[in-house]
């Protein structure tokens, strides 16, 4: 993958810096021109820790000048995410974490893209949704994988059980990101990693940046696992609706198979995530209980913001 197009002065600085790491300083990074400029900058910096870019230096990931910018953008992002979350006041009891996760999910009243796909989205809307989703689904589960070494025994074993399934149970043909790539080809879209980054809404990039930041920081391990739990707990039923919507549009090949896999897989994963990962993590490290709920809230909140942005672009009532 090549680096994305800049969306302002900061992302232009980042792209130039990553291309020329080791060739002398560019001077201090400018302030972001806009939220769009900010989120594409952080997305680009995080990508260095995944697959990287063919036109960026391999040394850029740990370059001090680059890390300074990444750190400052992450502070801004974390502050923005925390400001949207209402801390429960007292730390939740560890034993209540699975029930609190369920309550958060039940209380979520964000607009449903899956309902729209099932009932009335047209083909172009579905393709646009898949292009946006491709930013995450082509690296599906990768941010959670970073958390494995940071967990106590029970949560670690449970996360590995979940991740093993996400990564195809040892069969590369069943690896979820690969199933999604096959699905993209099936519906006539590009399947290369990062193909649609230049089309990604800021809301899409913010979702991805939050997951990457939670995964990359040991301090945020509770938020990472809460985010994972909320994601899995809101996947099975919506995936079934998307299968129905794809079928309505005559798309019943590999993309439908990708979502079909998630109906069954995530009906398992949601229990592993809520109880065996988050529940035991909160028991073993009680100070993580509130962080787990913060991560779960953030997942639901960012999905809601993304859905509203999509509906707004389609001029649909949300």
Stretch that binds other proteins, among 54-62, 132-140, 160-168, 306-314 (CB under 8 A): 160-168
Min. distance of Cβ 166 from other proteins in angstroms?
Answer: 11
Stretch that binds other proteins, among 20-28, 74-82, 127-135, 232-240 (CB under 8 A): 232-240
Burial per residue of 41-80, b for 16 or more beta-carbon CB atoms within 10 angstroms, e otherwise: bbbbbbbbbbebbeebbeebbebeebeebbeebbeebbee
Binding to other proteins (CB under 8 A): which residues in 169-208? Answer: 169, 174
- Check residue 236 for interaction with other proteins (CB under 8 A): yes
CB closer to other proteins out of 237 and 313: 237
Say whether residue 159 binds other proteins (CB under 8 A).
no
Tell me how far, at minimum, the Cβ of 154 lies from other proteins, in Å: 6
Between CA 9 and CA 15, with CA 14 as vertex, the angle to 5 degrees is 100
Nearer to other proteins, 107 or 153 (CB): 153
Quote the least distance from Cβ 311 to other proteins, whole Å.
22
Task: Assess 287 for contact with other proteins (CB under 8 A).
Answer: no
Q: How many residues does the chain have?
A: 318
Residue 156 lies near other proteins (rule: CB under 8 A): no
Binding mask 245-264 for other proteins (x = CB under 8 A): ------------------xx
Q: Is 161 in the site for other proteins (CB under 8 A)?
A: yes
Instruction: From 36-44, 162-170, 217-225, 286-294, give the range in contact with other proteins by CB under 8 A.
Output: 162-170
Shortest distance (Å) from residue 251 CB to other proteins: 19
What is the distance between the alpha carbons of residues 42 and 214, in angstroms, rounded to a whole number? 13
Give least dist CB 112 to other proteins, A: 13
User: What is the contact surface with other proteins in residues (CB under 8 A)?
Assistant: 153-154, 161, 164-165, 169, 174, 236-237, 240, 263-268, 270-272, 275
């Amino acid at each position: 993958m090549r680096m994305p197009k800049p969306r302002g002065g900061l992302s232009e600085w980042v792209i130039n810096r990553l291309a020329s790491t080791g060739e002398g300083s560019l001077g201090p990074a400018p302030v972001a021109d806009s939220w769009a400029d900010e989120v594409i900058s952080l997305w680009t910096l995080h990508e260095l820790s995944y697959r990287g870019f063919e036109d960026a230096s391999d040394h850029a990931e740990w370059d001090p000048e680059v890390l300074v910018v990444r750190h400052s953008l992450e502070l801004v992002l974390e502050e923005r995410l925390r400001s949207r979350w209402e801390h429960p006041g007292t730390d939740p009891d560890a034993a209540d974490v699975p029930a609190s996760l369920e309550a958060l999910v039940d209380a979520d009243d964000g607009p449903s893209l899956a309902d729209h796909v099932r009932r009335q989205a047209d083909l172009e809307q579905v393709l646009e949704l898949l292009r946006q989703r491709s930013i995450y689904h082509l690296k599906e589960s990768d941010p959670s994988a970073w958390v494995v070494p940071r967990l106590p025994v029970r949560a670690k074993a449970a996360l590995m059980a979940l991740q093993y399934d996400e990564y195809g149970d040892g069969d590369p043909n069943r690896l979820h990101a690969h199933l999604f790539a096959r699905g993209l080809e099936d519906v006539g879209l590009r399947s290369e990693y990062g193909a649609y980054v230049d089309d990604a809404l800021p809301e899409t990039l913010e979702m991805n940046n939050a997951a990457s930041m939670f995964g990359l920081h040991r301090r945020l391990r509770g938020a990472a696992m809460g985010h994972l739990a909320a994601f899995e707990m809101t996947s099975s039923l919506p995936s079934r609706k998307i299968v129905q919507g794809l079928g309505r549009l005559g798309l019943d090949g590999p993309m439908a198979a990708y979502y079909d896999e998630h109906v069954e897989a995530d009906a398992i994963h949601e229990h592993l995530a809520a109880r065996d990962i988050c529940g035991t993590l909160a028991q073993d490290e009680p100070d993580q209980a509130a962080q787990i709920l913060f991560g779960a809230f953030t997942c639901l909140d960012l999905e809601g913001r993304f859905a509203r942005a999509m509906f707004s672009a389609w001029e649909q009532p949300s």
